[in-house]
Structure 1
Amino acid sequence: MTPTLPDDFEERFWRRHSNPKSGWSRTVLLPALLFAVYHRKPRLAGAALLFTLLNPILFSPPKDDDAWMSRVVLAERWWTRERKAGVFDRTYPNWLNLVNVPVSVYAFVAAYRRRPLRAGLAGALAMALKFWYVGALVRRYDAADRLEER
């Protein structure tokens, strides 16, 4: 079956997004947004959000998927599309995302109230939860990939 234009666009989007530079550069988003909220810099917040939207198409597709961050993106796609698993249900590792929501909200509230230690700690915890989540997805993705190779 010939891919349709939306399918082709989606495939190109994910291939470009799987460039490790795309993934690693997105890790600065939360600290940048917290900084923008704390210092009341709406332009910085807007620039960070614009970068988030453009990020997946800024980088060329990687030559291979050996990089851990490439596999993070591929694992997220595999988890939601091929496994048809949600990202906010109450099973592991998805509950990490559920816990991450109030932690992230607290980080933004603390930044808004100008509580730097609380904002920083909550932001760090939110990032740790995200890395824990994607790390678990990569381990499952790699295990499934090894099973398919047999």
Structure 2
Amino acid sequence: MDNRKFTERLMSMDDQTWARHANPWSGWTRVPILPLLALAVWSRVWLGWYVLIPIAALVVWTWLNPRVFGPPKHLDAWMSRGVMGERMWLARKEVPIPPHHAQMAFVLNLAAGGGVVVFAWGLWQLDLGLTLAGLVGAMGAKLWFLDRMVWLYDDTNR
């Protein structure tokens, strides 16, 4: 099983959950998860092992988020189209997508992954500069990826 299918199964993303996740509120309320994770992990200095409480809350929110909002009335919003494009990208082995979208998504996921590595190292070392650089890199690449997913969705749903 590849990582994308593993993640989708881990998150229990079925058709109904994807429909609810397409609500812009779902997408936009997920954006602050990584900065909040940084704050939670950084707080280990003050909280000690109690740091597991905010980290657990973020993990629960990450799983719960695509389930708490109702399906949107339409898919016109940028975030809705991005979520639906991401679902198409995840299913690209079953339903191929245009190569230029696949290539750019791969590059952006590599960039986001690199940002996460820098982010994690910065948190481990309590280095604010590395943490922020990794956060900007990971989130910037993820949002750019999401923008490409809007483009993918628009290109295939005209």
Give the shorter-chain TM-score range: 0.7 to 0.9
CA distance in 2, matches of 1:22, 1:101: 22
How far off its partner does 1:84 sit? 4.5
Q: CA shift at 1:98, angstroms?
A: 1.6
- 8 Å Cα contact 2:114/2:138 also seen in 1: no
1:49 aligned residue: 59
1:133 aligned residue (127, 142, 145): 145
* Cα RMSD after superposing both structures: 1.7
- Deviation string, structure 1 residues 36-73 (Cα, Å, up to 9, x no partner): 11111221111111100111101111111111111111
**TM-score of the two chains, using structure 1 as the length reference:** 0.82
> Structure 1 CA distance, aligned partners of 2:96 and 2:22?
19
Task: Please list every run of 5 or more consecutive structure 1 residues that lacks an aligned counterpart in the other structure.
Answer: 1-8
The number of residue pairs the alignment matches comes to 134
User: Which residue of structure 2 aligns with residue 94 of structure 1?
Assistant: 106
Displacement of 1:91: 2.2
Instruction: Give per-residue Cα distances to partners, 1:74-116, cap 9 Å, x unaligned.
Output: 001112225356xxxx822222102221220220220221111
TM-score by length of 2: 0.78
> Any unmatched runs of 5+ in structure 2?
1-12, 45-50
Identity among equivalent positions (%) equals: 34
The 10-residue stretch of structure 1 (115-124 or 52-61) with the greater mean CA deviation from structure 2: 115-124
Correspondence for 1:38 among 38, 42, 62: 42
Runs of 4+ that moved beyond 4 A: none
